[in-house]
């Protein structure tokens, strides 16, 4: 019998599922749905590591490429070393494939292009194409005009179709899940804007501001519920997490990584339907999904690496890598996050993924979903 | 003598008119004040190649006074209620205006703020220079009508030359970094165009 391995958090509050949920009163469904859905302050509900104290089983975390590496406090590779090596390994691994880099103009994908410029012989630039759109240019115009337009041929990413032919032709590379390496941008208003010292506060001893912040999104009761759930999860792993920054970083790194791994399939749901999710999982290169990047992220959660001395220091190590190439003081000092206009990351057409990586939708497959859902809920 | 070339005080001509300020969150200060929302939004877009600017209405703040903030001292002020400003934004979300409830003095920082203020004055100067052509009927009509008719294959040499020069100027302002180089490049462009050079010469002679 088929098994659900992942449910779309945006459709969890569908009325037809309510009767199933009520059979499991041990879970606080009201809080869980608030945190998981569009109104939540955070965007993930599937822990990769530690105790899973949310209602759903995290079967998808067991798939190759989704897990979290073991925390290694002695890990010493620098971001630059890891990035250079990432480029070299991929270039050697696929000697006959052209690269298609999805460039949004943001920090994560600009690191990829910077690594190409740093390490690749200009004579080989013809093997690399850049997929972008006008918003990408608006996000990082000087880099575009100085490094991308003169060196690489372009593909309009707004017209890009994820199909078999595309993966046949190219090694398709994204800047995912770069946002989860450091910390999701959203809580930076609390940590770095309201008061820069907030990020150093201890989330166990002094949680008031942290709770007030989460409450502003989801209400006091749900904020307390989520805080306690996350603490329970944190206490079950062997990683020293103490500060507000650690708390929010862990929420993204542990709970939202998986969502970002298949985020490409949600941006272009209609065009990805002809392609099995399996092909997307196995062929798409998510640049930051490596053991080394994750281990780097786990040991460098401090000033000078994940962040700087002001709001513009977000993802500082990544920005310094780019700066080595472009020497753009403004991008280094001021670049903060833009939401990409072309990327609607809300999956709408499907409700869940099954263990054969096929997907079911509530309008077409409701009966089967109602049959399979109980087995997906933790008892 | 004024500290900045192209300096404008940003002081309200009408004491009841709303005043807008351009707030930079990393520097945590205002970089310019103006009465014109349209100008503030245009500056925000042109400067988006450097950093985020948030258009703030400051004249409704509870401690705002008519002579409190102008372009000589705007960098000494910041918003008092920061949670009214979203930190993430689209580069093109210019219609959004944050209404500031409270203003407060800000601290110092190690970035060259004068350089940023000077750049904004440069942008304002050249944006307003090209804005003046809109007083001419042919130009104004073409701006609207050819916006959707797209009759580029049938030229109108005078109007096209203004359009083209404006485009080149805006691109220089969007991508430029150095004040002197960029300003001179724009002046050279204008000098190379007979029609616009005459207009520019008349304007500078009037000063």
In a domain, A204, yes or no: yes
- For tokens 């520019």, the residue is B200
In a domain, A343, yes or no: no
B104 CB near a chain A CB, below 8 Å? no
Do A147 and A111 belong to one domain?
Answer: yes
Judging contacts by C-beta atoms under 8 Å, the chain B residues touching residue A194 are 82-83
- Under a CB-based contact definition with an 8 Å cutoff, are residues B59 and B35 in contact? no
If you ran DSSP here, which 8-state letter would residue B78 be given? E
Residue B82 is nearest to which of A139, A186, A194, comparing CB atoms? A194
State how far the Cα of A147 lies from the Cα of A124, in Å rounded to an integer: 15
To probe the interface with B, which of A187, A307, A310 has the most B CB atoms within 10 Å? A310
Do A269 and A366 belong to one domain?
Answer: no
State how far the Cα of A235 lies from the Cα of A4, in Å rounded to an integer: 28
In a domain, A17, yes or no: yes
Do A23 and A168 belong to one domain?
Answer: no
pLDDT tens digits for range B48-93: 999 989 899 999 999 999 888 999 999 999 998 776 666 555 555 5
Query: Which residues face A353 on adjacent strands?
Result: A6, A359
By CA distance, what is A187's nearest residue in B? B87
Do A43 and A170 belong to one domain?
Answer: no
Cβ pair A339:B92 closer than 8 A? no
The 3-state DSSP class for residue A284 equals coil
State how far the Cα of B205 lies from the Cα of A276, in Å rounded to an integer: 70
Contacts of A103 by beta carbon, 8 Å cutoff, 6+ apart: A109, A110, A112, A113, A130, A131, A132, A136, A148, A157, A175
Judging contacts by C-beta atoms under 8 Å, the chain B residues touching residue A145 are 175
Cβ pair B91:A334 closer than 8 A? no
Rg (CA), chain A: 21
State how far the Cα of A258 lies from the Cα of A256, in Å rounded to an integer: 6
Write down the pLDDT at residue A340.
43
H-only helix segments in chain A: 18-22, 29-36, 79-93, 107-119, 134-139, 141-143, 164-169, 178-181, 188, 208-218, 220-235, 244-255, 257-261, 263-267, 269-272, 277-283, 291-299, 316-326, 329-334, 362-376
Tokens in use for B205? 């002679």
Do A103 and A52 belong to one domain?
Answer: no
Tokens in use for A340? 């990409």
In a domain, A342, yes or no: no
Cβ pair A341:B177 closer than 8 A? no
Do A124 and A273 belong to one domain?
Answer: yes
Tokens in use for B177? 């970094």
Q: What is the CA angle A217-A220-A222, rounded to 5? A: 75
Number of helices and strands (H, E) in chain B?
6, 6
Buried/exposed code over A345-376 (b: 16+ C-beta within 10 A; e: otherwise): eebebbbbbbeebebbebeebeeebeebbeeb
Judging contacts by C-beta atoms under 8 Å, the chain A residues touching residue B54 are none
Tokens in use for A244? 């507000």
In a domain, A148, yes or no: yes
Tokens in use for B30? 């205002």
Distances in Å between the Cα of A204 and the Cα atoms of A71, A228, A237, A242, B165 are 21, 10, 16, 7, 60
Do A244 and A135 belong to one domain?
Answer: no
- Block means of pLDDT (10 residues each) for chain A, 379 residues, are 88 94 96 75 78 91 87 98 98 94 96 98 97 94 98 92 87 93 76 79 95 88 94 96 94 88 64 64 91 97 90 92 98 76 60 86 94 96
What's CA A238's distance to the chain center, in Å? 22
Query: From the CB of residue B105, how many other CB atoms can be counted at a distance below 10 Å?
Result: 10
- Under a CB-based contact definition with an 8 Å cutoff, are residues B53 and B20 in contact? no
Cβ pair A141:B49 closer than 8 A? yes
User: A69 vs chain B: nearest CA distance in angstroms?
Assistant: 31
The 3-state DSSP class for residue A106 equals coil
User: B111 vs chain A: nearest CA distance in angstroms?
Assistant: 9
- Under a CB-based contact definition with an 8 Å cutoff, are residues A218 and A259 in contact? no
pLDDT tens digits for range B6-33: 999 887 777 788 999 999 989 999 999 9
Phi, psi of B82 (to 5 degrees): -65, -25
Torsion angle (degrees, nearest 10) of CA A230, A3, A7, A53: -10
Tokens in use for A323? 């700066």
Cβ pair A336:B50 closer than 8 A? no
Residue B48 is nearest to which of A138, A194, A333, comparing CB atoms? A138
Cβ pair A145:B90 closer than 8 A? no
The angle that helices B157-175 and B113-131 make with each other, rounded to 10 degrees, is 170
Name the domain count of chain A. Answer: 2
Residue B88 is nearest to which of A194, A333, A337, comparing CB atoms? A337
If you ran DSSP here, which 8-state letter would residue A192 be given? I
Cβ pair B87:A145 closer than 8 A? no
The angle that helices B37-46 and B113-131 make with each other, rounded to 10 degrees, is 120
Do A196 and A225 belong to one domain?
Answer: yes
A347 φψ region: left (φ > 0), alpha (ψ -120 to 50), beta (else): beta
Distances in Å between the Cα of A151 and the Cα atoms of A122, A127, A218, A303 are 8, 11, 47, 34
Write down the pLDDT at residue A341.
41
Write down the pLDDT at residue A41.
56
State how far the Cα of B124 lies from the Cα of B128, in Å rounded to an integer: 6
Q: What is the mean pLDDT of residues B145-166?
A: 86
Do A293 and A237 belong to one domain?
Answer: no
Residue A311 is nearest to which of B26, B50, B91, comparing CB atoms? B26
By CA distance, what is B50's nearest residue in A? A330
**In which domain, by residue range, is A18 found?**
4-71+181-258+349-376
By CA distance, what is A342's nearest residue in B? B90
pLDDT tens digits for range B102-132: 999 998 888 999 999 999 999 999 999 999 9
DSSP string covering A252-307: HHHHTHHHHHTHHHHHTHHHHTTS-HHHHHHH-EETT-SHHHHHHHHH--SBTTTB
- For tokens 């219609």, the residue is B95
Do A134 and A17 belong to one domain?
Answer: no
In a domain, A344, yes or no: no
Query: Which residues face A56 on adjacent strands?
Result: A377
First to last CA, chain A: 19
Cβ pair A311:B48 closer than 8 A? no
Judging contacts by C-beta atoms under 8 Å, the chain A residues touching residue B83 are 189, 194
Query: Which residues face B21 on adjacent strands?
Result: B33, B56
What was the ipTM of the complex prediction?
Answer: 0.89
Cβ pair B26:A194 closer than 8 A? no
Cβ pair B87:A336 closer than 8 A? yes
Domain with residue A88: its CATH number is 3.40.50
What is this structure's pTM? 0.92
Number of A–B residue contacts, CB under 8 Å: 61
- For tokens 């165009």, the residue is B193
Judging contacts by C-beta atoms under 8 Å, the chain A residues touching residue B170 are none
In a domain, A309, yes or no: yes
If you ran DSSP here, which 8-state letter would residue B24 be given? E
Interface of A with B (CB under 8 A): 135, 138-139, 141-142, 145, 185-186, 188-189, 193-194, 310-312, 330, 333-339, 341
Please tell me whether the peptide bond between A177 and the residue prior to it is cis, using omega within 30 degrees of 0: yes
In a domain, A107, yes or no: yes
Do A168 and A310 belong to one domain?
Answer: yes
- Under a CB-based contact definition with an 8 Å cutoff, are residues A252 and A330 in contact? no
State how far the Cα of A240 lies from the Cα of A71, in Å rounded to an integer: 10
- For tokens 């962040």, the residue is A307
To probe the interface with B, which of A43, A315, A338 has the most B CB atoms within 10 Å? A338
- For tokens 């930190």, the residue is B87
Do A222 and A282 belong to one domain?
Answer: no
């Amino acid at each position: 019998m088929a098994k659900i391995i992942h449910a779309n958090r945006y459709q969890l509050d569908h009325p037809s599922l309510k009767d199933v949920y009520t059979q499991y009163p041990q879970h606080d469904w009201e809080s869980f749905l608030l945190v998981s859905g569009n109104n939540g302050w955070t965007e993930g509900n599937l822990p990769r590591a530690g105790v899973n104290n949310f209602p759903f089983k995290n079967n998808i975390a067991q798939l190759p490429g989704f897990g979290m590496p073991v925390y290694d406090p002695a890990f010493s590779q620098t971001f630059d070393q890891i990035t250079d090596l990432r480029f070299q390994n991929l270039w050697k691994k696929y000697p006959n494939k052209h690269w298609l880099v999805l460039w949004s103009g943001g920090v994560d994908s600009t690191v990829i292009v910077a690594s190409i410029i740093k390490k690749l012989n200009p004579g080989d630039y013809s093997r690399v194409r850049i997929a972008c759109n006008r918003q990408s240019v608006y996000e990082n115009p000087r880099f575009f005009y100085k490094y991308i337009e003169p060196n690489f041929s372009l593909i309009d990413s707004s017209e890009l179709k994820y199909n078999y032919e595309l993966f046949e032709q190219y090694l398709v590379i994204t800047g995912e899940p770069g946002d989860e390496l450091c910390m999701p941008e959203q809580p930076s208003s609390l940590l770095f804007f309201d008061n820069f010292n907030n990020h150093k506060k201890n989330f166990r001893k002094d949680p008031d501001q942290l709770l007030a912040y989460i409450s502003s999104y989801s209400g006091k009761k749900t904020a307390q519920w989520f805080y306690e759930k996350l603490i329970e999860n944190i206490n079950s792993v062997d990683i020293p997490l103490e500060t507000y920054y650690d708390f929010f970083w862990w929420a993204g790194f542990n709970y939202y990584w998986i969502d970002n791994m298949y985020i490409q399939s949600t941006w272009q749901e209609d065009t990805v339907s002809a392609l099995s999710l399996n092909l997307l999982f196995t062929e798409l290169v998510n640049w930051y999904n490596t053991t080394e990047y994750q281990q780097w992220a786990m040991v460098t959660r401090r000033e000078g690496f994940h962040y700087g001395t002001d709001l513009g220091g977000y993802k500082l190590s990544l920005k310094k890598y780019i700066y080595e190439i472009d020497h753009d003081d403004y991008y280094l000092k001021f670049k903060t996050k833009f939401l990409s206009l072309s990327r609607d990351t809300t999956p709408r057409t499907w409700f869940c993924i099954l263990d054969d990586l096929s997907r079911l939708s509530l309008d077409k497959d409701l009966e089967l979903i109602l049959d399979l859902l109980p087995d997906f809920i933790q008892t | 003598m004024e500290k900045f070339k192209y300096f404008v005080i940003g002081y309200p001509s009408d004491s009841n008119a709303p005043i807008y300020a351009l707030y930079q969150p990393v520097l945590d200060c205002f970089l310019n004040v103006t009465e014109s929302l349209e100008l503030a939004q245009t500056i925000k877009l042109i400067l988006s190649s450097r950093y985020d600017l948030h258009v703030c209405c400051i004249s409704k703040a509870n401690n705002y006074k008519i002579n409190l903030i102008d372009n000589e001292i705007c960098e000494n002020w910041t918003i008092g209620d920061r949670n009214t400003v979203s930190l993430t934004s689209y580069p093109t979300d210019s219609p959004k205006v944050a209404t500031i409830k409270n203003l407060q003095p800000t601290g110092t920082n190690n970035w060259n703020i004068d350089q940023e203020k000077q750049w904004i004055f440069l942008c304002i100067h050249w944006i307003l220079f090209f804005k003046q052509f809109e007083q001419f009927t042919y130009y104004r009509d073409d701006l609207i009508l050819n916006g959707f008719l797209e009759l580029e294959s049938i030229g109108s040499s005078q109007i096209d030359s203004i359009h083209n020069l404006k485009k080149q100027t805006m691109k220089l302002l969007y991508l430029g970094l150095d004040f002197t180089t960029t300003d001179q490049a724009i002046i050279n462009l204008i000098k190379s165009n007979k029609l616009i050079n005459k207009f520019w010469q008349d304007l500078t002679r009037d000063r």
